[in-house]
A = this chain, B = another copy of it.
Amino acid sequence: IGLDTSREIVKSGPKNLVLLDRIDNPAAIAELSALNPKVTVTFYPYDVTVPLAETKKLLKTIFDKLKTVDLLINGAGILDDHQIERTIAVNFTGTVNTTTAIMDFWDKRNGGPGGVIANICSVTGFNSIYQVPVYSASKAAALSFTNSLARLASVTGVTAYSINPGITKTVLVHKFNSWLNVEPRVAELLLEHPTQTTVQCAQNFVKAIEANQNGAIWKLDLGRLNPIEWT
């Protein structure tokens, strides 16, 4: 989803796209740069599980260079319920810490200009895949956190919405571990359901970015984009 969304974002034509990931992928950066020469695409290595202070230092480098940043997308995620601590650290704590770090630069209470946060959560945040209870719970947490952020926008000047993909044909869901192996065939069972492609998901992601609606809970499933009512 990350690469296809980056492609769609580059096509939509921002001035800059900064990619943060654990592993550099020079071929992908080159491809994205070639896709739209008007967009400057840069890469920084970043692991969302590093301490808050380290994230702040990296963000300072980026803000010093670009002066302003309009949108932060928190998209790091793993799906492996054999790795409890890491699932929670990447899917939940990583999103909280990266968001907390960028507030130093955006919070209007510090004279910041505000900003927009798009958190990639998952439909499992509200309809869990119970065979991966740790993954599903980490996504429920990321979703709850995002909804709270949106309600804090009047205080911080920072708006937020969540992107909740349904089952998408990615390497993530091709094969993964259930909690205590409660269902060894969970990946196969999941892929028996109707799915969507990463390109469909990415195109709807960019539509959600363009809608730019504080507090929206976007469901991106089966090639469609729908707002969810939270009751």
Contacts and interface: CB of A to CB of B under 8 A. Distances in A.
A119 to B, nearest CB: 11
A141 B92 contact: yes
Contact of A92 (B97, B130, B137, B139): B137
Interface stretch (A34-42, A59-67, A149-157): A149-157
Residues of A contacting B: mostly: helix
A155 B137 contact: no
Interface residues of A, number: 39
A137 B130 contact: no
Interface string A74-110: 0000000000110010001100110010010001000
Contacts of A141: 88, 92, 137-138, 140-141, 144
Contact of A133 (B52, B85, B144): B144
A176 interface: no
Report how many copies the assembly holds: 2
A230 B97 CA distance: 29
Most B C-beta atoms less than 10 A away, residue of A140, A155, A179: A140
A92 to B, nearest CB: 6
A70 interface: no
B134 A145 contact: yes
Most B C-beta atoms less than 10 A away, residue of A130, A141, A151: A141
A148 interface: yes
B134 A96 contact: yes
A152 B103 CA distance: 39
B182 A152 contact: yes
Interface of A: 52, 84-85, 88, 92-93, 96-97, 100, 103, 107, 125, 128, 130-131, 133-134, 136-145, 147-149, 151-152, 155-156, 179-180, 182-183, 231
